[in-house]
A and B are shown apart, each in its own frame.
Chain A
């Protein structure tokens, strides 16, 4: 094989040049800058001399790991973690039920269900800003459609985004609405890859539809489900636009403060670039752990058909 034998380093470099530059400037450099800034008290306003005079920068702004120890010493981090946990605890079960329903409906594939596939996916392609604005208005306690619908069932709805207790559930509901088509389609792909032979065998053995679901579908789908759960956890750590638009400023009593929202607020409202960068690094370590798990699973379980 000719290609295999020749070493075309220079030609390859030519084709790789744009991506190498992009990788260096927007993946590697930001990590270095972020680390440096996280060890400083730089406020984002005074002149950043980091790029010209590194030692000068640290002489003027360097504070060692003080940002990190501050973060762990203030209640904010724990509140953020608590809020995120709350989000995950509500979002993942609801999402699994919703996505599973979508997946099963699509996999059943009756005539006309092609339309459903398009319909269920529309929230996914909608921008989060638009979706969040819609939900913010839908959750209006007096004038919103959600409480109006609850009224039909005789339920007097809560204050939703205006109450510390219900703001996060509101964000969860909006997020499930936004994402269920996406994960539904993913589960649909998993469901379709289950060999029909298993169902035949089960029904010959006398298993009804419900038993088939629990004894064939769920076990066969478990790799996909596990994969979906891990992705959901990673995504849950990074929610941002819905929180920013639905409950600006961290929500009532800080009940919807989450990691990326805090990073943004600390950096661009409080001008604490160092503190915000340290927060980013903490988030990075957590995401890294989950991504690592996900990649290990992906290697084993996921096929990439384009």
Chain B
């Protein structure tokens, strides 16, 4: 075989292989879109319609007529934004204290925080429900901001970033008479821009997609987030999968747009440490 033919064969094998996996990734999404455009009757036609013979937007129209569906999009958006802002601010503050302010017990605090990585929410959701019920903070979107007062993973990641910033910068600013808050907001935060952007995206996505805590804490449907309303559809509208697929699509679109816009941030480095449980 000539080296040229070998090259072409190599490319063919590569794209065949890559293509098969791409198709496997895409089939469920194709199925979602196709189903969402079907009428209720076409759902159960035999033989199956790969693409709807008579595409219709009925499912979408009906979806937005469902009580609180539109509201839940707003709720999810509100929660994702507020929680992300809170997480970035509070985690940066903690990371700043753990790297740039010298105090006794710094390492002890850090070790303590790191142990929290071992406690996933799957274990603490019952006591959290109990505590927040007692504090009358259930069915309140702002409650979720509280969960972001402390985020071990974000603190850890920002601490790693801040450790690479020279202490001399902080010292020079102190000598020039800058206060700690000014140093924090005007020197350190801007220097962490990249790490903050990555964290913001991760946080936005994880809050937008969050299921367990909203399920437990937001039983009032007016306060429910999109995944909660969505999972509720399967009970209420049992076999109307066109409705559910339309809902799934609506929930994926914003996150997909965000992802495609910022996918440059998704360099392989950030997946390594992101064991969030």
Which residues does A use to contact B, with CB under 8 Å? 1-9, 11-16, 18-23, 25-27, 29-34, 37, 44, 48, 50-51, 98, 101-102, 105, 108, 110, 113, 116-123, 125-138, 140, 142-143, 145, 148-149, 177, 181-182, 185-186, 188-189, 192, 231, 234-235, 238, 240-241, 244-245, 248, 259-260, 263-264, 267-268, 273, 276-277, 280-281, 283-284, 287-288, 291-292, 294-295, 302-306
Which one, B155, B157, B245, B255, contacts A126 given CB within 8 A? Answer: B255
Q: Is the CB of B149 within 8 A of A185?
A: no
A304 to B267, CA, bound (A): 12
> Which of A2, A113, A149 has the most chain B CB atoms inside 10 A of its CB?
A2
**CB closest residue in chain B, given A242:** B211
Cβ A18 vs Cβ B93 within 8 A: yes
B103 and A19 form a contact (CB under 8 A): no
B130's closest neighbor in chain A, by CB? A33
Residue in contact with B245 in the complex, picked from A22, A137, A231, A281, CB distance below 8 Å: A137
The CA-CA distance from A180 to B175 in the complex, in Å, is 51
Docked-complex contact A31 and B25, CB < 8 angstroms: no
Segment 15-45 of B: residues with Cβ below 8 Å from A: 15, 17-18, 21-22, 24-29, 31-32, 35, 43-44
- Contact between chains at B102 and A129 (CB < 8 Å): no
CA distance A294 to B117 in the complex (A): 11
Q: Which residue of B lies closest to A36 (CB)?
A: B127
Residues of A within 8 A of B268 (CB): 185-186, 188-189, 192
Residues of B in contact with A, size category: 35 or more
Q: Does B127 lie within 8 Å of A277, measured CB to CB?
A: yes
Query: Is the pair A133, B271 in contact by a Cβ cutoff of 8 Å?
Result: no
Q: In the complex, how many angstroms separate the beta carbon of B118 from the nearest chain A beta carbon?
A: 5
Q: A185-B271, A241-B231 are in contact. List 10 more A-B contacts (CB 8 A).
A: A9-B103, A31-B119, A105-B21, A121-B266, A130-B248, A137-B244, A143-B43, A148-B48, A264-B212, A280-B124
Report B146-198 residues with CB < 8 Å from chain A CB.
146-151, 155, 157, 160-161, 167, 170-171, 174-175, 180, 184, 194-195, 198
